[in-house]
Structure 1
Amino acid sequence: MNHDTSRPRGATRIVSSASVSGAPCWVSLTSRDVDATEDFYRAVLGWEWRSAKLGDRFRMALVDGTPVAGIAAVADMWQMAVAWTPYFAVASADEAVARAQERGGTAAVGPLSFPPGRAALLADRDGATFGIWEGALVADWEKWRHAAPTFIRLHTRDAFDAAIFYGEVLDWATERSGCCEVQYEGGEVVLRSQGDIVARIESGALGAAPDPTIRPHWQIHFAVEDVAACVRAAEVHGGSVLSKGSDEAVLRDADGAQFTVTSYPER
């Protein structure tokens, strides 16, 4: 990864997954048709695109030249769901996978080498899918956070149990350098990295009985300037609207992947 010599003296540059241990560091979309997916997100979120080193089925989304997300058009080939997936930074992919499996999670893919790092696709013990990444980050973490502000929320049956699982797998609230802080606020688990809220886990009031009707999943939220414009663009380009308000809307892209656009950097 190239060094940015224009960065102000004394500013922090995050280049390694170990530096933001346990924090969300990337989002990736599994799709069927890379060209159609590009067209949809260009129209809805204004993203630019470039080819990825992994082959024709992979693309990188850019905002003002900063990589912000990836597309892998492998849903049919690998028999995977069309979905957005968050990736969490880890110091060791092998250790994280082993800890997840020891605690009832499953490993769907990997760890595999994807230079400049290694990745694995996992599911927690309630079935919510997430990824882990070890190695040099695709983009400077601070630039990635601000180029296309991304916030993730886990909808699950038992927030307290999920927090224990992810905390043990991803080294949250430990003595590891750069680890995330975890707090309980308003009935939710709140995850902070370097002072920023980067994720929430919700299941209703903590201490309440787990809700068996919830299908656990990580929901990706993208902060945008104009929610209504994103909704209109999604409908015009083959997507659908699951819910909408003045400051937030839940959308499906033309391929069926669900995501949220919000006027807030984090909710």
Structure 2
Amino acid sequence: MTPGDPRTVPEPAVLSGASAPCWVHLVTRDLGDAQLFYGAVLGWTFRAGPLGRDFVMARSDGVPVAGIGAVASAYQVAVAWMPYFSVRDADVVAARIRERSGTVAVGPLTVGQGRAVLAADRDGASFGVWEWTGRAATLAPSGNRAHAWLRLRTRDAFDAAIFYGEVLGWASGEPGGCDIAYVREEVLVRCNGRPLARISSGAVEAAPDPQVRPHWQVQFPVADVDATVLAAERHGGTLMERRAVRRGGEATLRDPDGGLFTVTDVRSPATVDEG
């Protein structure tokens, strides 16, 4: 098994078009500590899967929302959250990544009912792609609000939009696919008409701070940002940044093992503008 192993990806109850964000996964060191922290902070419950004692599935209100794998120490990789995007052909996408100066670290790898690739874009932000044997997955399996959405902090939002658009087929016009819109200085990604990701400029490749280097930021909607921050601090987490945004706020937190994630009371990336 590999860091960010996609074998913790479940097949959701409702499926959507290809190229959409479909899953998030935490690579950590201690599975027990991670479950205690995220259970207390986000109210998740956990279920063991068929992959062994180092992997669990996180659930919210009975819905699978994330995978957690305690493989950071075994593979000597950083603790981090990673997004996955659904694709129709992992071989084609892997070739596109390489052709556009990205890096394919693992795959395509056949895993259960799908095939996976672990990669990095040309600015170094890590991500995964997942080819389902059936239809593609989405981060909003209930058909209502997404249980997570993404923000890419990168060097140049428009250059990144071109990279991911060409790799994943955004704005291809395929039924059920994703398209992009330019909103002020950012790029908004809509999948099946639902906003699921934003791309923002300003990250610096050589920065020592992982918040400043290009990375995909996983954002979880919560009812009360302040209460979530307090719960995180009580359980060994650290508040890294608070930001006021249009129609709400968000906080970037570091879990006790070093994993960065964001909580927000904004229900859609379409409504987020710094205020």
Displacement of 1:2 after TM fit? Answer: 8.9
Contact 1:68 1:139 in 2 (8 A): no
Q: 1:87 aligns with which of 68, 81, 84?
A: 84
Distance 1:235 1:129 in 2: 27
Deviations along 1:146-193, one digit per CA (max 9) or x if unpaired, are 576211111111111111110011000003332101111111111001
Displacement of 1:257 after TM fit? Answer: 0.4
Q: For residue 122 of structure 1, give the secondary structure of its aligned residue in structure 2.
A: strand
Q: 1:113 to 1:145 in 2, by over 3 A?
A: farther
Give the counterpart letter for 1:24 in structure 2: P
Q: For residue 100 of structure 1, give the secondary structure of its aligned residue in structure 2.
A: helix
Displacement of 1:70 after TM fit? Answer: 0.2
Contact 2:218 2:262 in 1 (8 A): yes
Residue in 1 that maps onto 2:261: 259
Distance 1:40 1:121 in 2: 26
Q: For residue 143 of structure 1, give the secondary structure of its aligned residue in structure 2.
A: coil
Give the counterpart letter for 2:126 in structure 1: T
Q: Does 1:199 align with 2:208?
A: no
Contact 1:64 1:147 in 2 (8 A): no
Distance 1:3 1:189 in 2: 27
Displacement of 1:264 after TM fit? Answer: 0.6
Q: Does 1:143 align with 2:141?
A: yes
Q: For residue 141 of structure 2, give the secondary structure of its aligned residue in structure 1.
A: helix
Q: 1:50 aligns with which of 40, 47, 51?
A: 47
Displacement of 1:201 after TM fit? Answer: 0.6
Q: 1:230 to 1:2 in 2, by over 3 A?
A: closer
Identity over aligned residues, as a percent?
52
Give the counterpart letter for 1:87 in structure 2: Y
Displacement of 1:31 after TM fit? Answer: 0.4
Give the counterpart letter for 1:143 in structure 2: P
Displacement of 1:84 after TM fit? Answer: 0.4
- For normalisation by structure 1, the TM-score amounts to 0.87
Deviations along 1:199-245, one digit per CA (max 9) or x if unpaired, are 111115xxxxx866541100011000011111111111111110125
Paired residues for 1:188-267 under 5 Å: 188-203=186-201, 214-245=212-243, 247-266=249-268, 267=272
Contact 1:150 1:265 in 2 (8 A): no
Q: Does 1:21 align with 2:18?
A: yes
Q: For residue 29 of structure 1, give the secondary structure of its aligned residue in structure 2.
A: strand
Residue in 2 that maps onto 1:40: 37
- Which runs of 5 or more structure 2 residues have no equivalent in the other structure? 1-9
Q: 1:160 to 1:139 in 2, by over 3 A?
A: closer
Give the counterpart letter for 2:31 in structure 1: V
Q: What CA RMSD, in Å, does the superposition of the two structures yield over aligned residues?
A: 2.3
Contact 1:67 1:138 in 2 (8 A): no
Q: 1:96 aligns with which of 85, 93, 97?
A: 93
Q: Does 1:70 align with 2:72?
A: no
Residue in 2 that maps onto 1:207: none
Contact 2:26 2:68 in 1 (8 A): yes
Corresponding pairs, count: 250
- Which runs of 5 or more structure 1 residues have no equivalent in the other structure? 5-12, 205-209
Distance 2:164 2:19 in 1: 9
- For normalisation by structure 2, the TM-score amounts to 0.84
Q: 2:170 aligns with which of 162, 172, 179?
A: 172
Q: For residue 37 of structure 1, give the secondary structure of its aligned residue in structure 2.
A: helix
Give the counterpart letter for 2:86 in structure 1: A
Distance 2:176 2:79 in 1: 32
Q: Does 1:125 align with 2:127?
A: no
